[in-house]
Amino acid sequence: MTHQEAQRPAEARRTLEELARREGFDLVGVARAEPLERGGERLREWQEAGMSADMGFMHRPPELLADPRRLQKSAKSVVSLGVSYYPGEHPENTAGGGRVARYAWGRDYHDVIKPRLFRLRTALEEALGCKIKARGFTDAVPLLERSAAQHAGLGFFGRNACLIDNDTGSYFFIADLIVDLDLGQDEPGEGTCGRCTRCMDRCPTGAIKAPGVVDARLCISYLTIENAGEIPRELRPAVGDWAFGCDVCQEVCPYNKRKATRSRWPEFGEDSGTGPYLDIVEVLGIRDEEEFERRFAGTPLTRPGRTGLLRNCCVAAGNLGRADAVPALAGCLREDPSPLVRGHAAWALGEIGGPEAREALAGAEADSAASGDETEEWLREEVRLARERAETGRAGGVCGGLE
């Protein structure tokens, strides 16, 4: 087959679909490699409202993120592919663990999906008898992937800003191949949430400010993953037992309740990675980066780094009232090299209370006062407030934001 023959859009599109399904992709769609004008407009409005927090990669100019031809000048089509990662429902948190968002139960999706993308390109070249210039990626280059996927027919934007497929829900990764082939154009994804506002009503922090508009500064997924600093004190109770990410807005979605089916990719199952919960005490005992990498290498949980993950587990321990975690939290307060971890450990001790927690906080307050280090003013304030909280006693309730 000549390259010209391979460019027959309908025939090439059918071949693409067959090969993509063979590689395990659940959703397949094609859009022309043209600027995503509406997506760029939404991004600009979101940026100007200050809702992108400190995510530098989301501060890029919309015209850059909205044009696939900026990534490949010869691009003619953007192939969007969906991979279900749904591993099942969260089991009840009977052991008081740190809850992990479903997408992170198994292996790192970047490492798992990318090799299959390139196998797909090779198989497409062989089937069409031509060389294809392509870029393949999943959540790794400056492109509005959800907008591209919506243009390609993979779903519609729900009120929670997730892309929702009418037949499978929203628990899927998006991967892309930008190619120099004309593969035609699928119909854009359409659908509606109707009058349902469950995701907006149930978001623990009220992060969904309007349909399709999520304020990252309030989103638990941002706070526990991309956020490199403190979790604001006023938001910590609402984080509940989430130690990595958050699924609430997807859990309550009727599309997922009715139609989510388990992933066919074993790499995304709970037996392939950390699973649905972290052992909080175990995580709080990690003191160096080498140990952290040994424990979590190859999983999404490396994203916030050691400091971020321990920070999150401190908050979860405090919200869960984990009295058995007090020795580990006290160890963090005394010994952890990160002031960020020490400050959140202090907060957790204040929430849990009890003689051992009060003793640890009193010792930390005395040490902090003696040091006089002005760079640790934030930490001193955290310890002071936590000691006052511990002395007044825990107010009751397991944790904010949970049922």
Residue the block writes with tokens 């930390």:
364
Average pLDDT over residues 237-245: 98
What is the separation, in whole angstroms, between the first and last Cα of the chain?
Answer: 60
Catalytic annotation present for 139: yes
Percent of the chain at pLDDT above 90?
A: 83
DSSP-based three-state secondary structure for 177: strand
pLDDT tens, residue by residue, 382-394: 999 999 999 987 5
Q: How confident is the model at residue 282 (pLDDT cuts 50, 70, 90)?
A: very high
Q: How confident is the model at residue 266 (pLDDT cuts 50, 70, 90)?
A: very high
User: Do 30 and 182 touch, CB atoms closer than 8 A?
Assistant: no
List of residues 6+ apart from 392 with CB closer than 8 A: none
Q: What is the pLDDT of residue 375?
A: 66
Burial class (CB in 10 A: 0-12, 13-18, 19+), 15: middle
Q: What is the pLDDT of residue 60?
A: 74
Kindly give the residue spans of alpha helices, DSSP state H, lying in 220-338. 220-221, 236-239, 248-251, 254-259, 280-284, 289-296, 305-320, 326-335
Q: How confident is the model at residue 172 (pLDDT cuts 50, 70, 90)?
A: very high
pLDDT tens, residue by residue, 55-70: 766 667 777 778 999 9
**How would DSSP label each residue in 361-381?**
HHHHHHHHHHH--GGGHHHHH
Percent of the chain at pLDDT above 70?
A: 93
Output the average pLDDT for the chain.
Answer: 92
pLDDT tens, residue by residue, 20-68: 999 999 999 999 999 999 998 898 898 888 888 777 666 677 777 789 9
Separation of CA 296 from chain center: 16
DSSP-based three-state secondary structure for 10: helix
User: Do 220 and 204 touch, CB atoms closer than 8 A?
Assistant: yes
pLDDT tens, residue by residue, 67-124: 999 999 999 999 999 999 999 999 999 999 999 999 999 999 999 999 999 999 999 9
In 3D space, the residue among 309, 387, 376, 369 whose CA is nearest the CA of residue 339 turns out to be: 376
Helices (H) and strands (E) in the chain, counts: 18, 11
Sheet (strand 134-137) strand order: 27-32, 77-84, 172-179, 134-137
Q: What is the pLDDT of residue 56?
A: 65
Q: What is the pLDDT of residue 82?
A: 98
How many residues make up the chain in this entry?
Answer: 403
Q: How far is CA 292 from CA 42, 43, 160, 345, in A?
A: 38, 35, 32, 18
Structure tokens at 154: 């993979």
pLDDT tens, residue by residue, 179-227: 999 999 999 999 999 999 999 999 999 999 999 999 999 999 999 999 9
Structure tokens at 337: 């090299």
Average pLDDT over residues 165-175: 97
Residue the block writes with tokens 């902090």:
368
Above 80 in pLDDT, residue 403? no
Above 80 in pLDDT, residue 395? no
Going along the chain from its start, the domains and CATH numbers come out as 3-87+104-179 (3.40.109), 198-392 (no CATH)
Cα angle 327, 328, 330; round to 5: 65
Question: Which pTM was predicted?
Answer: 0.93
Above 60 in pLDDT, residue 5? no
In angstroms and rounded to an integer, the radius of gyration of the C-alpha atoms of the chain is 23
Which of 139, 167, 271, 324 is an active site residue? 139
Q: What is the pLDDT of residue 7?
A: 52
Residue the block writes with tokens 């511990």:
390
- Strand 172-179 versus strand 98-100 pairing type: unpaired
